[in-house]
Amino acid sequence: MINLTNIFDMFDNPNKSDNESDETSLLIDFSDHPLYWINGFTKIINNHVFFNQYIIKTFKNIPLESDVNITELEQVGMTLIYNKAWNYIKNMNLSNPLHIECLKTKNSEELIMSLKSAIVFFEELEEYEKCELLKNIEIKLKDFNLNLA
C-alpha cells in the first residue's frame, strides 16, 4: 500500500522548522562542476556543423525583404557556438586539483580537437585571453598523454 505521508513529505512543508532535516533539499547542481563544463564545451564544438546547417536552413526558409548573406549567417552561427562553448570551459582553473583530475578523466582526442578548433576561431577574432586558457588546457592534456606513454 502506498504511504501518502511519505509522498507528501517530499514537498516543502511551510510548518516545518528550519532545524529539521530536509532530504529533498540535498540536490546537487552538476552545472557547477568541471566535468559538466568539459562535456558541454566538447559537445557544443562537435555539434557545430549540425547547428550551422540548421540555422542556414531556418533562415533560408524565412521570406525576407533583402537577400540573406549565407556567409554572414554561417559566421553568426559560428560565433554563437564558440561563445556558448566558451561559457562552459571558461571556469576551468588549472591550479585546482579537482579541475586537473577532471581533465585527466575526460582526456580524449575529441576534446583536444575541440580545443584546437576553438583556439583557431578565437585567434581570428583576436580574443587572445580565451586562446590562452584553451591552449593551456590543450598543453595539460598533451602532458597527460606523454606521461601515459
pTM of the predicted model as reported, rounded to 2 decimal places: 0.71
pLDDT digits 0-9 by tens, 79-138 = 999 999 999 999 999 999 999 999 999 999 999 999 999 999 999 999 999 999 999 999
pLDDT digits 0-9 by tens, 21-59 = 555 555 667 888 999 999 999 999 988 877 777 777 777
DSSP state at residue 24: G
* Least confident segment among 10-14, 47-51, 137-141: 10-14
**Cell triple for 21:** 532535516
DSSP state at residue 23: G
The pLDDT, as a whole number, for residue 140 is: 94
Q: Does residue 147 or residue 112 have the better pLDDT? A: 112
Q: Which bin fits 67, alpha (ψ -120 to 50), beta or left (φ > 0)?
A: beta
Q: Where are the domains of the chain?
A: 32-148
Per the CB < 8 A criterion, the answer to whether 141 and 103 are in contact is: yes
Q: H/E/C letters for each residue in 79-104?
A: HHHHHHHHHHHCCCCCCCHHHHHHHH
- Residues with Cβ within 8 Å of 127's Cβ and at least 6 positions away in sequence, in order, are none
